[in-house]
Structure 1
Amino acid sequence: MKKMRLHQQMFRMKALPYFVGIAGAALMASTAQAQITNNITIGNAKALGLAHAVTADPPGVDSIHFNPAGLAKIKGRERQLKFLMAHMQLDAKFGAQEVDDLRKAYNDLIDARGGAGDSCAVNPDQSKCFQMDPVQNTKSSTADAALILPGIGLTSVPALAVPFGGIAIEDPDYGWTFATAFYSPQAVGYEREKDDPAAYNGYMVSVSRLTYFAPSIGLQVNDELSVGASIGFSWQGMGIKTKFRAPEQTLQFLAGTMSGLDQSIQDVLDLSLIGPYETVGDLELELDNPLSLSFNLGALWEPEDWLAFGFAYTSESTTTLEGDFKMINSDEFLATMNSLKHTPLLGAALGLLGGTSQINAQKIEKGSVELDYKVPQTVNFGTSIRIVPKLKFNMDLKWVDYKIWNSLDFKFDRNVDFLNLASVIETIAGQNDSDPDALRIPRGYKSVWSSAYGFEYQFDDAIVLRAGYEPRASSVPKNRVDLLLPIASADLYTLGAGYQIDKYSRADIGIGYMVSSFKARAGQSENANSNTAGDVVYNPYSHMSFSAKTTAILFAASLEQQF
């Protein structure tokens, strides 16, 4: 095989995302949820009413999560029942495709190769010429909620509505309190219509973490200081269904950049062209692990009756998620792979260029897959000040270590056709982020500090009113935003109330409204619309600007009883 010659300008036509895209989309499902779910799905009504500014004012049994030292304030035996409802809406708009220079360069390349029909210069509307993206100037919106659940898998649900609960028991002889609870530190999911323009960034997606056992202890050290710790035994799951496509005529570009090839290879490439905006295939993927461990530590210092300081730490958790994948290749992609499979010279060339000569060429490729999934460590500092006898002000400062998501590794149990070709394109591009059975996705997220503020007003002996605000800093840089979970910096506004029913029972409710929006100009995001040559992440909306808005409405209710 003679030496291959690359047109550097034409490499900007993004050969690589076509092949690596779907695995990139799957991995983004596991990371993009980031800030949007932090504390949101715990379902504690008091914490929600105070915008989660409760590190120095921990909420009963749920101190297990927010600050285990708060368990020491529970007297006797206490049980908690709570209910969480959430609705999330994801909307997006696509701008016009910005491809004038690219379109001309591409058409010039096609004309130089000749072939049947008029030249693209004469008739640019021919199918062989560069076509405009039908997604441009369209809108997207989610339809329903979705969740991945143990024993059920990825499923549609009318709404995110989940009951939780917990129990705490004080040992008065030793001054400590034991507790455990069932809750969800992380749960997010949605479903789009399959023909939605954003379906190439996922049409059914969910990431869930359910803590089913959380042995915890809170200890009153002295009149001013309490400490606590908890261990979380959790189930972690991730599921995604998504369409994927190549925003460029990838194989046609590849054929045009090779010189001196055997004519049979050129004929195969010509025969196997996949249209630039056709759906290449669908991926269905579900992974989970029933045992994911983490721990929480906390301290609470109350030097005065009107003043408290809190500290809480949650450990990083690394879990190997295992599951199954199924790729349903389109007829066009299958025809392409069959053409490659039955051309031995080209198959041998794949092996020389970092791929493998083994080509599956199957309508459905399926097998097992695993991913090392990390939940980042967090550090919270808080203060609670009773400004006047009936009014209390809480403030939290929080750090989340999302920087650990610098790169994620996706490992398949067999060679997969799209990864096989991706490794070839990467070799040509001088990259090293995929093998025929593995994909390494750079993330480039950042660790962030954010704050939260809450007010609590004691209206009378039985009723307390709450309000809060939490400006959530984004862990996703501007050059990494996408539509898999379109979240950037967000604002959470909350209200709540509590009612002391009797000496032994208390009810609380909380509501919240969160909004996040961003705009990405054409070529800005390496996760969605990059124009950069040799990118190794999925870019289904290449050369196109887009904007997105995510809104969430939250409701939590709880009942705490001594027994």
Structure 2
Amino acid sequence: MLYASVAQAQLAQNLFIGNPKALALGNAVTADPPGIDSIHFNPAGLARLKGRQFELKGIAGDLSLEAEFTPGPELAYAFEQFPDSLSDPTVNGQKSELSGTSVMLPFFGLTEIPALVAATGGASFEVEDRNMVLATGVFTPMLLGLKREPGDAGVYSGEEVGITRLTYFSPSIGYRISDKLFVGAALNFSYVGVGLNFDMRLPNFTFGAFDTLQDGGCFDQNGDVNSNPLNDIICTGSLSPFQTMAFIEAEFERGLSTTMNVGVLWEVEPWLTLGMTYMSGARDKIDGDVRIEYNSGVQDFINNLAQDTSIVGIVAGALGVDEIGVDETPASMVLEYPQHFSMGASIKVTPRFKTNIDVKWTDTAVWNEWDIKFDEQVQFLGVLGVISDSLNQGTTGGAIGADGLLLPRGYESVWTWAIGFEYQYTDRLAFRLGYEPRGASIPEGKRDLFVPIGETTLYSTGFAFQWSKDTFVDGSLGYVHSEQNIPSNGSTNATSTAIDNFIYNPYAGYNMKTELSVIVGEISIRSTF
């Protein structure tokens, strides 16, 4: 539940690096690396830079995410058969929309900001007598933030979500082997932060049957509790399938995560350049804190169960059940940053018209399952773990317990491609277009609202203007679009009605449609000093 949002960073890959040239060319720049940001895209391109240079960049983004929910046939039948005991006004027939932006910031944690904006930069220095260029830069390989209003249908997949990977120091080198062959390498030191606040619910058949049992068996005709050992337990508190069981707040940070980029650039002919880049992955244990505040119905049920003196209470005590209100615990999780490989060609079709083509591979299969550990016992999750184990039919995998969560994801590594066009309109002004179909690394049976990424496409445009002999201004505008249509029982991560699907399936039985749109604007100025 806590970790699922991390995969949204795959959506933001390369979008917020802040380099207008790369964005405008659909990120097809492996063979045509862009200035100081060659550190990220292909460090061999640094060897082309002359003298001492600096680059300042500005980035602004706007993210729109909508979701619609309609009951599938099984859920519609349940609503029809039990109109008094089963209802879901927060989600049934509702639409979810974002209301703002929250991001993870060093020292500040998960923070609401007026807009998704950032300013970064870098510098390079040519060591002429050694045929090499040294450089460092600041950029954001991951940057994503969203906020929903309380009561929105999407809060079960995040009321506030912030994901940041900020590379703050990247010592790099580009080396000229010959006039046509260049190599380069970069070592990236990054801050990693993940923040997530959300309402948790478990719309499982078990709780639906329990809720119906409460309504039908607890009270006599006068409204008094029918006292017996079972009713004395279940008639106090509430475990409805559609209620918010708890509000969870979590923040995880790591100040130092290291990765490495290596690249090669070969100017085969004046009209043809080839490039290749490998970006290493990272496997980091990031530490943080989790706070779980239970709603009153859950509190009453668990507390009554813990105090019961019958055999049921004795069994509950053996499981470690005690009174609950708020659980707070340090926690940790292992965060995988996937490795990436790209190769490309830059072709001058005419003296003024250039085409760039890239083929890329991203190892998103590392997100097969995620493991979250709690330093202290979370009793309510332990109770759910006992229920889950008793019902387990092998439908979804994973595990839930008082000491943590093991969340199945089942993502796939993907090959994608990108293409960019540049037309040199005058000696000082060029126009660019880009297209990048990013594909889908999430199988249809694993789609959800936590990671709303179906088939994703980037469209972009931009310009390059030589302001003076040594000063260049670049600008770009990009648009990313993705849609999902997830039917009831179409995903074990969102809409499954399987009795053993506890982890984490907040819209069980619903048909869900999502539409994601991201607009990104970037501008940079590069000059000498």
TM-score range, shorter-chain basis?
over 0.9
Determine the C-alpha separation between the residues in 2 that align with 1:339 and 1:102: 32
Does the aligned pair in 1 maintain the 2:21–2:462 contact within 8 Å? yes
Q: What is aligned with 1:363?
A: 325
Matched residues, number: 511
Counterpart-to-counterpart distance in 2, 1:421 and 1:363:
15
The separation in 2 between residues aligned to 1:65 and 1:221, in whole angstroms, is: 20
The Cα shift of 1:248 comes to: 4.2
Quick one: which of 193, 200, 222 aligns to 1:237? 193
Q: Confirm or deny: 8 A CA contact 2:480 2:517 kept in the other structure.
A: yes
2:394 paired with 1:428: no
1:386-397 to structure 2, matched below 5 A, reads 386-397=348-359
2:248 counterpart of 1:321: no
The counterpart of 2:261, out of the listed 290, 296, 315, is: 296
Partner of 2:365: 403
1:51 aligned residue: 26
Q: 1:134 deviation in Å?
A: 4.8
1:272 to 237, 259, 265: 237
- Can you give the 5+ residue segments of structure 2 that lack an aligned partner in the other structure? 214-226
What secondary structure is seen at the aligned counterpart in 2 of 1:490? strand
What residue in structure 1 maps to residue 104 of structure 2?
148
Separation in structure 2 between the aligned mates of residue 409 and residue 134 of structure 1, nearest angstrom: 30
Q: CA, structure 1 residues 358+475, in 2 after alignment: closer, same or farther (shift >3 Å)?
A: same
User: How far did residue 91 of structure 1 move?
Assistant: 0.6
- Distance (Å, rounded) in 2 between the aligned partners of 1:306 and 1:212: 36
Q: 1:382 aligned to 322, 344, 366, which one?
A: 344
The code of the aligned residue for 1:170 comes to E
Contact 2:428 2:466 in 1 (8 A): yes
8 Å CA contact 1:472, 1:491 repeated in 2? yes
2:154 paired with 1:198: yes
1:286 aligns with 2:251: yes
* TM-score for the superposition, normalised by structure 2: 0.92
- Counting only pairs closer than 5 Å after superposition, residues 170-209 of structure 1 correspond to structure 2 as 170-209=126-165
User: CA contact under 8 A between 1:498 and 1:506: conserved in structure 2?
Assistant: yes
SS state of the match for residue 110, structure 2? strand
Distance verdict in 2 for CA 1:348–1:251, change over 3 Å: farther
Q: Which one of the candidate residues 298, 303, 307 is aligned to 1:333? A: 298
Change (3 A) 1:100 1:543: closer
Aligned residue among 508, 515, 521 for 1:555:
521
The yes-or-no answer on 1:472 pairing with 2:445 is: no
Matches of 1:290 and 1:91, distance apart in 2? 33
Percent pairwise identity: 35
Higher relative contact order (CA 8 A, sep 6+): 1
For residue 458 of structure 1, the aligned residue among 397, 419, 424 is 424
Q: Structure 1 pair 350/224, CA: closer, same or farther in 2 (3 Å)?
A: farther
Q: Give the direction of change, closer, same or farther, for the CA distance of 1:502–1:360 in structure 2 (3 Å limit).
A: farther
Once the two structures are superposed, what CA deviation does each residue of 1:184-203 show, in whole Å capped at 9, x if it has no partner? 00000100111111111111
Per-residue displacement from partner, 1:521-557 (whole Å, max 9, x unpaired)?
A: 1111111111223124211111110100000101000
User: Match of 1:521?
Assistant: 487
Q: 2:208 touches 2:240 (CA, 8 Å); kept in 1?
A: no
Conserved? CA contact 1:360–1:416, under 8 Å: no
Match of 2:412 among 446, 452, 472: 446
CA gap 1:302/1:540 in 2 versus in 1, 3 angstroms:
same
- Judging changes above 3 Å, is the alpha-carbon distance between structure 1 residues 532 and 276 closer, same or farther for their aligned structure 2 residues? closer
Alignment-derived partner of residue 19 in structure 1: none
Query: How far, CA to CA, are the matches of 1:483 and 1:415 in structure 2?
Result: 28
| CA shift for structure 1 position 166 | 0.4
Matched, 1:72 2:38: no
SS of corresponding position for 1:205: strand
**Cα pair distance change 1:79/1:253, threshold 3 Å:** same
Distance 1:444 1:244, change over 3 A: same
Mapped to 1, the partners of 2:492 and 2:102 lie a distance apart of: 26
Instruction: Give the match's secondary structure for 1:540.
Output: coil
Q: Within 2, Cα distance between the matches of 1:309 and 1:189?
A: 36
Distance across 2 between alignment mates of 1:285 and 1:229:
35
1:216 to 2:169 alignment: no
Q: Deviations over 1:304-363 (max 9, x none)?
A: 111001000010101111111111110011101101211253355357xxxx63234332
- 1:136 to partner: Cα distance: 1.7
| Counterpart residue number, 2:468 | 502
Q: TM-score, normalised by structure 1?
A: 0.87
**Contact 1:252–1:269 at 8 Å: present in 2 too?**
no
CA distance in 2, matches of 1:428, 1:96: 28
Give the partner amino acid of 1:73. R
Task: Look up the equivalent residue of 1:542 and give its one-letter code.
Answer: A
Q: Which amino acid aligns with 1:74?
A: L
Aligned counterpart in structure 2 of residue 343 of structure 1, from 308, 327, 340: 308
Deviations 1:276-315 (A, max 9, x none): 3222121111000001111001000111111001000010
Deviations along 1:208-259, one digit per CA (max 9) or x if unpaired, are 10000001001111122111100110000000110122324745746999xx
Change (3 A) 1:213 1:428: same
* One of 74, 84, 87 as aligned partner of 2:62: 87
Give the match's secondary structure for 1:289.
Answer: strand
1:485-519 Cα offsets, whole Å, 9 max, x none, are 42211111101101111111110001011111110
Report whether the alignment pairs 1:126 with 2:101: no
For the 8 Å contact 2:321–2:383, the answer to whether it is kept is: no
Question: For residues 208 and 75 of structure 1, what CA distance do their matches in structure 2 show?
Answer: 32
2:237 and 2:299 in contact (8 A); partners too? no
User: Where does 1:225-264 land on structure 2 (aligned, <5 Å)?
Assistant: 225-248=181-204, 250-251=206-207, 253=209, 264=229
Match of 1:38 in 2: 13
Does the Cα contact within 8 Å between 1:251 and 1:269 map onto a contact in 2?
A: no
- Match of 1:532, SS state, is coil
Deviations 1:73-100 (A, max 9, x none): 0111111100010100001111134326
